[in-house]
Each structure stands twice: as C-alpha cells, then as structure tokens.
Amino acid sequence: IIFYVTRIVVPAFVVLGYWFVIQLFYGVGSLGAVGGGTAFWAHAGGFLAGVTLIFVFRDPALVAAHREALRHGHFRD
C-alpha cells in the first residue's frame, strides 16, 4: 500500500459546514439508541448558538478598529 500525502487549502466555512452536516446525520442516527453516547444534537445546537451570537455581539466599530490596527502592523509577531 502506498500513501500519497499532500496538503490542500479548504475554506473554513466548507469545513465547518461539513462538520455540521456530519453532526446532524449522526444525531439522526442516534435517535433510537439506548444508553449514553456522544451528544451530537448538543454539538449542532452549540454551533448554531455560536453562529447566532456572532451577529448579536458583533460591533462594527470594534471590527473597524481591529482592521485599522492590522493595517498599521499591530497584532503581528
């Protein structure tokens, strides 16, 4: 067996969307399960809550200040 290892660039929203869909599928698959397991619905709910809170707490003035600081070279190592 030969493995070919490489790196690809994938946008974060694609990876997060894939992860969210996987959580939904596993959540549906675990509906009839008895006993403990992974809380797939909690993962999906937490993700949706986080996305919602981004828009609730988003401050345009703060975003503009951070962009200006980055433009002037602040926040760099």
Give the pLDDT confidence score for residue 75 in this predicted structure: 66
The string of pLDDT tens digits covering residues 20-53 is 999 999 888 888 777 667 788 899 999 999 999 9
The residue written with tokens 């399960």 in the block is 33
CB atoms within 10 A of CB 23: 20
Token readout for 25 is: 């599928």
Is-above-0.85 flag for pTM?
Answer: no
Token readout for 24 is: 């939904």
Domain ranges of the chain: 39-77
Lowest model confidence (mean pLDDT) among 1-5, 29-33, 72-76: 72-76
**Rounded CA gap, 15 and 47, in Å?**
13
